[in-house]
Amino acid sequence: MDYKDLLESFQGVASILAVDLKVESGDSRYKVVDGNEAYKRTVVKSLDEFEQNVPYTRYIMKASNFESLLETVASSGKPLHTYFDIELYNAWMEVFYLPLKSDDPDRKLILFTYEMNQKANVDKLTDITPETATNVIQTCLKLRETDDFKESMKEVVKDIRRQCGSQRCSVLMTDYEKRDYRLLCEDYDRDDPNQMPMESFLTEEFYAVIETWPRLINKSNCFIITSEGDMDNAAEIAPEWIASLKDAGINTIVIYPLRSVNKTIGYIWAGNFPVEKTQMIKETLGLTAFILSAEIANDQNVKKMKIMSSTDLLTGVYNRNAMNNRISYDVNGEDEIVKPFGVFFIDVNGLKTINDTQGHLAGDNLLKDVATTLKELKSDKAEIYRVGGDEFLIITPETMRDDFDSLKEQLISMSERPGRAHYAVGACHSTEYDDVRRAMQIADARMYDVKEEYYSRHPEYEWHNKPV
């Protein structure tokens, strides 16, 4: 099986190891199958030097304890978590060994991932039970079952709540730089009339509550409330939050930060659980937080890449690549533009003259002003694309002819406002041509007719890209 995607989802060090049961002993029994980039950079000077399926001793010193741990995981088929002081690096190392499915019954595969810190964390010295780790891993593997990350997270949180025996489990994303937050997913006991959706508590003032959580966690790995005494102590730091917990009927809670690249990106917590299950819940949420931090950070990075690949950075509208994909998806039937639809081509007037006489910064401001105008269009279905240097395209799916005519009039009325950028607009409705590519051609031709009339009235502007 190919676990490359799984490896690359880890932002920390991670590798796949193999125990070859056909080799009775020696270095060849334990091999490094593959590693993510972070792992490779810890064992080789150049990524080109890394080789797959070689004895682990190629990269690190031989260690009998390490081999013993691999044997334990291979024979039991259960995850193993260790936390120990490694003298070689003068640091504390937290290590996870996670068994994986293998196509070869004589070759046991193990995901090996670790973190090192200079100072010991007392909470992590207590190893978690294999049963807890197995449940968490099986739950988190659901993130690989579908491309819909948010829906997968809902299933994960539902399972975690069940494992914890709690009335509520939630994941909240935070951005301390932007002073922003959002609820990613939650699951709660809907049979309990006292349990309300968390959305009902997420007001503008709630961010002030979130700002108290780092002080409550106080550089530890989690924060716990299991008694009235805990509530009273927390109220000294976060009185508003404790009051909201009581209003929501929350009596016990465990909250873990989600961290990526030394930055908190969110929190996961469980509330209203049996106090006698506190340790198990700590183990469950601790490991879940460890895995989800990597998964969520990876999902965020993928989304950022998609946005960058489909957004025009100057104007903030979709770019030509996004337009090409949109038209391609329509033509091949993957994501059709719902009929009836409208197509509008917009071309900025006088851009070349402005660039030549006032500089490209002034020209950029002209383009941004046109984009701002197009965003004022009174339609929640308008898809705006910058398709060239001075050209924009608008597609409006599910738009009747009357609404299309109204949008056209809006665009025309805003096209020559005093003190604002001027543009020419051409339009075509699907009742004329229901093939979007043909409709675009017609709209483009009509736009050039309008543009020619504009330049006849404004000879002071040079017509860039004038059709021959």
CATH number of domain containing 327: 3.30.70.270
Query: Does the residue 467 lie in any domain?
Result: no
Q: Are the C-beta atoms of residues 343 and 443 closer than 8 Å to each other?
A: yes
Cα–Cα–Cα angle for 108, 112, 118, rounded to 5 degrees = 155
201 and 347, same structural domain? no
pLDDT at position 462 is 65
Mean pLDDT of 324-351: 92
Query: Does the residue 122 lie in any domain?
Result: yes
Last residue of a domain, one of 82, 100, 126: 126
341 and 298, same structural domain? no
Which CATH number characterizes residue 152's domain?
Answer: 3.30.450.40
Query: Does the residue 76 lie in any domain?
Result: yes
Which single residue is written with the structure tokens 């009775």?
A: 24
User: Does the pLDDT at position 122 exceed 80?
Assistant: no
449 and 418, same structural domain? yes
User: Does the pLDDT at position 365 exceed 60?
Assistant: yes
Q: How confident is the model at residue 134 (pLDDT cuts 50, 70, 90)?
A: confident
Report whether the peptide linkage leading into residue 340 is cis, meaning its omega lies within 30 degrees of zero. Answer: yes
406 and 327, same structural domain? yes
Q: pLDDT averaged over the chain?
A: 86
User: Does the pLDDT at position 461 exceed 60?
Assistant: yes
428 and 342, same structural domain? yes
248 and 298, same structural domain? yes
Query: Does the residue 426 lie in any domain?
Result: yes
Euclidean distance between CA atoms 134 and 77, whole angstroms: 9
Q: Are the C-beta atoms of residues 463 and 444 closer than 8 Å to each other?
A: no
Query: Does the residue 361 lie in any domain?
Result: yes
Query: Does the residue 463 lie in any domain?
Result: no
Mean pLDDT of 342-366: 92
Percent of the chain with pLDDT over 90: 46
Residue predicted with more confidence, 308 or 183: 183
331 and 279, same structural domain? no
Residue predicted with more confidence, 393 or 155: 393
Which CATH number characterizes residue 73's domain?
Answer: 3.30.450.20
Number of domains in the chain: 3
Task: Write out pLDDT tens, residues 192-229.
Answer: 887 778 887 787 788 888 999 988 887 666 788 887 87
Last residue of a domain, one of 72, 103, 126: 126
Q: How confident is the model at residue 468 (pLDDT cuts 50, 70, 90)?
A: very low
Cβ neighbourhood burial of 170 (10 Å; 0-12, 13-18, 19+): buried
Residue predicted with more confidence, 298 or 394: 394
Query: Does the residue 468 lie in any domain?
Result: no
Last residue of a domain, one of 95, 126, 157: 126
Task: Write out pLDDT tens, residues 55-105.
Answer: 999 998 776 557 767 888 898 898 877 775 564 666 667 889 899 999 999
Closest by CA position to 202, among listed 153, 244, 246: 244
142 and 38, same structural domain? no
pLDDT at position 68 is 67
pLDDT at position 299 is 81
Q: Which domain holds residue 358?
A: 320-457
Residue predicted with more confidence, 284 or 130: 284
144 and 238, same structural domain? yes
User: Does the pLDDT at position 253 exceed 80?
Assistant: yes
Mean pLDDT of 433-452: 94
Query: Does the residue 154 lie in any domain?
Result: yes
Mean pLDDT of 32-48: 94
Euclidean distance between CA atoms 464 and 467, whole angstroms: 9
303 and 161, same structural domain? yes
Residue-by-residue DSSP string for 224-251: EE-SHHHHHHHHTT-HHHHHHHHHTT--
34 and 98, same structural domain? yes
118 and 151, same structural domain? no
